[in-house]
Amino acid sequence: MLSNVPVSNIKGIGEKIESDLYEMGIETVEDFLFYFPFRYDVHEIKPITELEHQEKATLVGKVVSEPSLAFYGRKKSRLVVTLEIDQIAVKAVFFNQTYVKKHLKQGELITVIGKWDQHRLQITVSQFKKGKVKEKDTIQPVYSLRGKVSLGFLRKTMRYALQTYKNEIEEILPEEFLTSYKLPPRIQALEQMHFPGNGHLLKHAKRRFIYEELLLFQLKMQWLRKQKREATMGNAIKIDSDRTNAFVQSLPFSLTEAQSKALEEILNDLQRPYRMNRLLQGDVGSGKTVVAAIGLYAAISAGKQGALMVPTEILAEQHHESLQELFADQAEVVLLSGSVKGKKRKEILHKIESNEAQIIVGTHALIQDDVFFHDLGFVIVDEQHRFGVEQRRALRDKGLQPDVLFMTATPIPRTLAITSFGDMDVSVIDEMPEGRKPVETYWVKENMLNRVLRFIYKEMKNGHQAYVICPLVEESDKLDIQNAVDLHQQLKALFPNDVKVGLMHGRLHTDEKEDVMQQFANNELHVLVSTTVVEVGVNVPNATIMFIYDAERFGLSQLHQLRGRVGRGDAQSYCILLADPKSETGKERMRIMSETNDGFELSEHDLKLRGPGDFFGKKQSGLPEFKVADLVQDYRALETARKDAVEIIESGKLFTDPSYQKLKTRVENDPYVKGQVLD
């Protein structure tokens, strides 16, 4: 196999070059052959009349004058020759390329590439060729190169390597895929990637490798998913369906279709013998928590305990309260967070261990060593991205193969969901409960500030409340706080005394934060000036205004999260974005925010504006790097590959059908697949 042959086996690759190639990530012959150009420069030959001033142009012309060569300065030269192109005389100028002179014969054709000067009818030549270029030479692959590896060397060696190893480059896709998707065979496509014959052939070669790359990736994901399931047999929870249904019936509303579907998926997982590994995503307010609660109820109907872990104390308290209300006398719900201490904590720990408590809500306090569960069967992690892998695992290890449900209120674009969470099952709630009034969003400039403040005051007079999110200064959290403090002072001075203005930021002590939040929740504070700490989960239905300063500094997802803090009650709510974006994308973001309330639609826009790498933030994107595929542009191919991969794995073809043998070997030997701890 070429993946086992060191690259130095290729003739002409010595030690020096070899170490440069290593730096380019090339160690084997296969690496070398599949080292693709990152770009292709296309030099289309256009009629002179269609060229724009200063454009990089490719021209073919007849030499009609003697070249004139002049030297100036030290070692500098200027060579000029007249070409006839479409019966127009054009001057070609070569700087410091004296050697060209001997190739310029009157009456012969030459091709020149360079910068076009429309006023002087002149081209400053950077590349020159005798004769007329062939079509294939007008497409130039551009590689990323290192050290002694020049473009010329790479191309020469590539041509040689393709010749030498031609017979060992194996097709890995089954024939039926090539036929039904009209993909070129692997070897042919490989040649086209390095030496494109024309634009059409190159396009199909790329199409082939994009599909191949995405299919392999999806196969790995689907395989891991299958293995994880099979490695975790046991623990089929016997839920009491009648009791669970009765509980659903007793809710003051009926579930939306999307909620019912997600619930069904969750209940099915609970009852199956493998461990649930599911992500539940849905916009803020779409009703995830209710679905999770029913799941918890089902688990306790089977005699199990359920735990809900959330990232902040405030959230833990809110969930604790609402679950207590929801379950009333049907289950004992306890709260375990950092601020629960001493005797109270002992008491709760005892309840958890003795099964007196069936539902346990908490922060990461849940995963401390001295917390023992009686029989933890179902674990829910809210805002999963706020916890590390270790923390999530620690909670899971508190039970015996408990089912695990992750929740997120960040709608993730479908393409990213199936790549980042490809080895998980995903449920989506993409529909809001009926009767919800969509939040009205307005984008305003600084000169509207007084009107906005008057509007806020009017809403206060009607008994409502407002969040004011403070200018964000990315570089420093200290400055953010200073901004919040200043703004708090300003607003206090601006509003009449009957408007109580509160302040919230990350540097406040946990108790103080809770205190402020509690006052706001009780309507003792009317306006809450805050940094983005209010972002996650907090529920104050009486708040109807979300006013965001310097909104252009926030990403779409974050703006949408903030907007989700309002519109939680019956009254009409408003989101006001104060922004004066300079860039086009900034303006685009404000427009999109004003136009749509749909988190999923918004996340697709966000992905397009920011690109896949930035979507989750730099640190923990968890996204694979693709060589040829682009998650934004190639989403159709990705969907196709995903569908095919599921079918190939579920049908068992990968393991039994000989025409899938090569794919199977690739998946099996993939370092990522091998490195996964199947726990």
For the bound state, the minimum distance from the C-beta of residue 530 to ligand ADP, rounded and expressed in Å, comes to: 19
- Does residue 570 bind ligand ADP (CB under 6 A)? no
> How far is it, in rounded angstroms, from Cα 418 to Cα 413?
9
157 part of the interface to Mg ion, by CB under 5 A: no
Instruction: Give residues 288-317 in contact with Mg ion (rule: CB under 5 A).
Output: 289
The answer to whether 259 contacts ligand ADP (rule: CB under 6 A) is yes
442's enclosing H/E stretch is strand 440-444
3-state SS record for 335-385: EECCCCCHHHHHHHHHHHHHCCCCEEEECHHHHCCCCCCCCEEEEEEECHH
Looking at residues 602 to 641 of the shown chain, list those that interact with Mg ion (rule: CB under 5 A).
none
Minimum CB separation of residue 289 from Mg ion in Å reads: 4
Which does residue 573 bind out of Mg ion, ligand ADP, none, counting CB within 5 to 8 angstroms by kind? Answer: none
Q: How far is the CB of 284 from Mg ion (least distance, A)?
A: 7
Please identify, using beta-carbon distances, which residue of 184 and 433 lies nearer to ligand ADP. 433
Shortest Cβ distance from residue 242 to ligand ADP (Å)?
21
Residue 290: which of ligand ADP, Mg ion, none does it interact with, CB under 5 to 8 A by kind?
ligand ADP
d(Cα 227, Cα 235) in Å, to the nearest integer?
A: 17
Residue 285 site contact among ligand ADP, Mg ion, none (CB < 5 to 8 Å, cut-off depends on kind):
ligand ADP
Closer Cβ to ligand ADP, 67 or 567, answer by number: 567
In contact, 415 and 327? CB cutoff 8 Å: no
**Residue 253 interacting partner from Mg ion, ligand ADP, none (CB closer than 5 to 8 Å by kind):** ligand ADP
**Contact letters (x/-) for ligand ADP, 382-421, by CB under 6 A?**
---------------------------x------------
**For ligand ADP, which stretch binds (CB under 6 A), given 139-147, 281-289, 365-373, 457-465?**
281-289
Q: Which of 519, 511, 509, 538 is nearest to 339 (CA)?
A: 511
The one of Mg ion, ligand ADP, none whose footprint includes residue 282, by CB under 5 to 8 A per kind, is ligand ADP
Stretch that binds Mg ion, among 154-162, 281-289, 508-516, 668-676 (CB under 5 A): 281-289
Q: What is the nearest approach in angstroms of ligand ADP to the Cβ of residue 13?
A: 58
Task: Say how far apart CA 603 and CA 529 lie, in whole Å.
Answer: 27
403, containing H or E segment? strand 403-408
Identify which of residues 338 and 433 has a Cβ nearer to ligand ADP in the complex. Answer: 433
- The answer to whether residues 615 and 413 touch, using CB atoms and an 8 Å cutoff, is yes
* CA separation for the pair 381, 310 (Å, rounded): 6
**How many positions of this chain bind ligand ADP (CB under 6 A)?**
14
List the one residue out of 42, 45, 29, 33 whose CA is nearest residue 202. Answer: 42
Query: Contacting ligand ADP (CB under 6 A), which of 285, 311, 402, 599?
Result: 285
Q: Does 433 bind ligand ADP (CB under 6 A)?
A: yes
* 331 interacts with, out of ligand ADP, Mg ion, none, CB within 5 to 8 A per kind: none
Tokens 């968890």 -> residue: 622
Residue closer to ligand ADP by CB (options 321, 630) is 321
Among 284, 307, 546, 609, binds ligand ADP (CB under 6 A): 284
Beta strands of 122-236 (E only): which ranges?
122-130, 139-142
CB 344 within 8 A of CB 292: no
By CB under 6 A, name the one of 61, 141, 287, 402 that touches ligand ADP. Answer: 287
Total interface residues for Mg ion by CB under 5 A: 1
- Residue whose beta carbon is closest to Mg ion: 289
CA 522 to chain centre: 38
DSSP state of 304: -
Of 588 and 598, the one with the shorter C-beta distance to Mg ion is: 598
CB atoms within 10 A of CB 461: 12
For the bound state, the minimum distance from the C-beta of residue 292 to Mg ion, rounded and expressed in Å, comes to 8
* Start-to-end CA span in the chain (Å): 32
> How deeply is 369 buried, as exposed, middle or buried, from its count of CB atoms within 10 A (0-12, 13-18, 19+)?
exposed
Query: Which is closer to ligand ADP, CB of 402 or CB of 567?
Result: 567
Contact 290, 251 (CB under 8 A): yes
Q: What are phi and psi of 565, to 5 degrees?
A: -70, -25
Q: Is residue 542 within 8 Å of 483, Cβ to Cβ?
A: no
Query: Of the candidates 58, 286, 401, 603, which one interacts with ligand ADP according to CB under 6 A?
Result: 286
Q: Which of 79, 53, 84 is nearest to 68 (CA)?
A: 79
Choose between 303 and 433: whose C-beta lies nearer to ligand ADP.
433
- Residue of the chain from 24, 112, 290, 376 that contacts ligand ADP (CB under 6 A): 290
Q: Using CB under 6 A as the criterion, which residues of the chain lie in contact with ligand ADP when the complex forms?
A: 253, 255-256, 259, 282, 284-290, 409, 433
